[in-house]
Chain A
Amino acid sequence: MKRREFLKKSAVFGVASTLGAGKESLNRTSLADAKGTEVAIAHGADFGKATEKAVALLGTMGRYVPKGAKVAILPNSQSKNPGAHTKPEIVRTAIRMCKEAGAGEIACLSWLPEKYWEASGLGKAVVEEGARLRIIDFKDESQFRPVPLTRGKVLKEAKIMIPFFEYDVFLNLPITKDHAGNRFTGAMKNLMGLNSPTVNRFFHTGDFKTKPDDIEHLDQCIADLNLALAPTLCIVDATEFLTTNGPFGPGDIASPRKIVAGVDRVAVDSYCTTLLGMRGEDIVMIKRGHEHGLGEIDLKKVRLREVEA
């Protein structure tokens, strides 16, 4: 299938799918998700190999990345603390797999200053693998494009960093971990990394202070933001992550040594909550995402496959 044809079909399937985000979404969901919700898990001490195995359970990277496609990658580079950022070897492997699939330009996008990328080792990994690191000035609002969210219950407008619109494929590479706001972060919350930090502050209440409905407010905002952005594929670092004092750390660390991959971010997050001793239903953000029709919260309805890497 030629790239143009692939992308055209992808867009059609993405909008038509019950798991799709709807017409207002900047939909990068591929047709690969049309046959139902799958979540793939690979575990092992070699995190790069586990990344390959998890994607292989879903098919091949070529299923998501057509030849010549421009690929945007969003790792979590927020903190250099242990268990707080996506591991560089996972990002390296994802870049290599995209290249092997015949991708065109591959870039990690961020509004976090370069020092965060240096401190976590992610900047070095991206450059050494031959991908671009595209960082915009987070204080410059002109570098974000407003995206109306007609179905947003709290968030009525997202502001997405403009370079994102240049890419055909969106790989979401978060780390799952504890979060002091809503107890959990993973695939859905990672999308805040493409949204204007000024708008993100509204997530933590309009005047940046704690308000009575804080937790509901934050979670509804994240679910609403997810109406605007649909990843082509999520590859989640669940190898070693914070179980306390997240998202920044330092804190206690769990080491399941797992990579979790899937198109359905709600299902992926719902699975990852189990690694923190919870269920998807325990996290308001995941419930609200499910209510928006973004994915499956009930793991009994998800095809979970796990393999040793």
Chain B
Amino acid sequence: MGMRLPILTLAVLLISCGTPAEKPAAGSADLKTYLPAERELGLWKARGVPQEFRGDDLYVYMDGGAAIYHEYGFRQLLVQDYADPYGRSLTLEVFEMDEPDAAFGIYTFKSGSQGKRVDLGQEGSLEDYYLNFWEGRYLITLTGFDRAAETTQGLLRVGRLIDSRINWPAAPPALVGLLPGRDLITSSVEYFRGPLGLFQNYPFTTTDAFGIKAGVKGDYSAGYSFYVIGYETPERSLERFAAVTKSLQEDPKFKNFRMAAKNTAFLEDRQGRCLGLRALRRWILIVLGHISAESAASLLNDYETDEN
């Protein structure tokens, strides 16, 4: 199947792992220090005062939308609106997450695969009216409210100013390096830290049969997706594999379920896509796409061979 992505070395960071609370968690930054000075903004001016939300207060800001941030590991958020003299506006959101893995994960969750890569933070993506980038344990989201070139320039200008103030190199989680490298569409990589993120990507099950704490998905130019779900031990992986296959077998939206081995199963979804699953050491591997079961089996076998 080809070489894995290089496993990037994680930055060694001392990060407090206190639970989200209404007071700033130990080690949390004063996010206002990242805001650009007025003289740097050109025609853009801050509108109103910055709003801050910590821990569960995120529900006040975005109601049910907060759940996915908490799943990844949320600490605090700063929101600042800007306006120019021509009536254009944009909103800056600085999310401080628990650790860089969390910031990378929510970045991959929020970034569309069609976005244009921009040189901001560790990685940035500019969509038609908004941009996201991540750096250290921060996710920056800038939203414009029209598609005018001037607004896009405003997004980039504010983004660069924030970027210049956050100097925190970090690398994607090591699990990302376990995706097969050949034919991977790099912009499609998505990192999960819980059932909501995985469910949004593909509704394998409405319960947390996976018991997922960390997982990654990539799309491939040959038309399939490859998932690697990580576990603490091989025993845990096998246990969860049994729970997942039981759930899939009982779900009427899947058909043609068959166990090919104790650790390998194949089935088909309503759209005619093949799912191949295998418990391998500390992982559950999944191949999903409009490919034959034989092709899915071949991809899983190649992966196992490479690992050996």
Contact of B67 among A82, A181, A250 (CB under 8 A): A181
Given contacts A250-B127, A251-B110, contact A208 B62 (CB under 8 A): no
On whether the beta carbons of B206 and A245 are closer than 8 Å, the reply is: no
On whether the beta carbons of B195 and A214 are closer than 8 Å, the reply is: yes
Q: Which stretch of A4-12, A101-109, A196-204 is in the interface?
A: A196-204
Residue of A nearest to B110 (CB): A245
- Which residues of chain B in 47-80 are interfacial with respect to chain A, using CB atoms and an 8 Å cutoff? 56, 59-60, 62-68, 70-71
A281-B253 Cα distance, complex, nearest whole Å: 9
Q: What 0/1 readout, one digit per residue, does chain A (48-73) give for beta carbons within 8 Å of chain B?
A: 00000000000000000000000000
Given contacts A82-B145, A216-B206, contact A210 B195 (CB under 8 A): yes
Q: Which residues of B contact A212 (CB under 8 A)?
A: 195, 207-208, 211
A247-B59 Cα distance, complex, nearest whole Å: 12
Residue of A nearest to B81 (CB): A119
A132-B275 Cα distance, complex, nearest whole Å: 53
- Interface size for A (C-beta < 8 A) is 38
A59-B253 Cα distance, complex, nearest whole Å: 37
A235-B195 Cα distance, complex, nearest whole Å: 32
Given contacts A197-B59, A215-B207, A284-B206, contact A204 B67 (CB under 8 A): yes
A209-B240 Cα distance, complex, nearest whole Å: 21
Q: A81: CB under 8 A from chain B?
A: yes
Q: What 0/1 readout, one digit per residue, does chain A (211-252) give for beta carbons within 8 Å of chain B?
A: 111111011000000000000000000000000111111111
Q: Which residues of B contact A43 (CB under 8 A)?
A: none
A282-B199 Cα distance, complex, nearest whole Å: 12
Q: B18: CB under 8 A from chain A?
A: no
Q: Which residues of B contact A215 (CB under 8 A)?
A: 195-196, 199, 206-207
A204-B127 Cα distance, complex, nearest whole Å: 29
Q: Which residues of B contact A252 (CB under 8 A)?
A: 112, 114, 127
Residue of B nearest to A179 (CB): B64
Q: What 0/1 readout, one digit per residue, does chain B (245-286) give for beta carbons within 8 Å of chain A?
A: 000000001000000000000000000000000000000000
Given contacts A213-B207, A216-B206, contact A201 B59 (CB under 8 A): yes
Q: A93: CB under 8 A from chain B?
A: no
A162-B213 Cα distance, complex, nearest whole Å: 41
On whether the beta carbons of A180 and B68 are closer than 8 Å, the reply is: yes
Q: B129: CB under 8 A from chain A?
A: yes
Q: Which residues of B contact A213 (CB under 8 A)?
A: 207-208
Give the Cβ gap from B48 to chain A, nearest Cβ, in Å: 9
Residue of B nearest to A219 (CB): B206
Q: What 0/1 readout, one digit per residue, does chain B (107-144) give for beta carbons within 8 Å of chain A?
A: 00110101000000000000101100000000001010
On whether the beta carbons of A180 and B63 are closer than 8 Å, the reply is: no
Q: A143: CB under 8 A from chain B?
A: no
Residue of B nearest to A250 (CB): B130
On whether the beta carbons of B62 and A79 are closer than 8 Å, the reply is: yes
Give the Cβ gap from A66 to chain B, nearest Cβ, in Å: 33
In the complex, 10 of the A-B residue pairs with CB atoms within 8 angstroms, ordered by the A residue number, are A79-B65, A82-B145, A179-B65, A180-B65, A210-B70, A212-B207, A215-B196, A215-B199, A247-B62, A281-B253
- For the A-B complex with A209-B70, A250-B129, A281-B253 known, give 19 more contacts whose Cβ atoms are closer than 8 Å: A78-B65, A79-B62, A80-B91, A180-B64, A183-B203, A208-B59, A210-B194, A213-B208, A214-B208, A215-B195, A215-B199, A216-B206, A218-B64, A219-B206, A247-B64, A252-B112, A252-B114, A252-B127, A282-B253
Give the interface of B toward A (CB within 8 A): 56, 59-60, 62-68, 70-71, 91, 109-110, 112, 114, 127, 129-130, 141, 143, 145, 194-196, 199-200, 203, 206-208, 211, 253
